[in-house]
Amino acid sequence: QVQLVESGGGLVQAGGSLRLSCVASGRTFSRYAMAWFRQAPGKEREKVGAITWSGGSTFYTDSVKGRFTISRDNTENTAYLQMSSLKPEDTAVYYCAAGTSIWSREYDYWGQGTQVTVSS
What are 97-110's pLDDT values in tens digits?
A: 999 998 988 999 99
Question: Could you give the CA distance from residue 41 to residue 35 in angstroms, rounded to a whole number?
Answer: 20
User: pLDDT by residue (tens digit) across 12-45?
Assistant: 999 999 999 999 997 788 899 999 999 999 999 9
CB 32 within 8 A of CB 2: yes
For residue 69, the Cα-to-chain-centroid distance in whole angstroms is: 9
∠ CA 41-79-38, rounded to 5°: 10
Q: In angstroms, rounded to a whole number, what is the distance separating the alpha carbons of residues 32 and 10?
A: 27
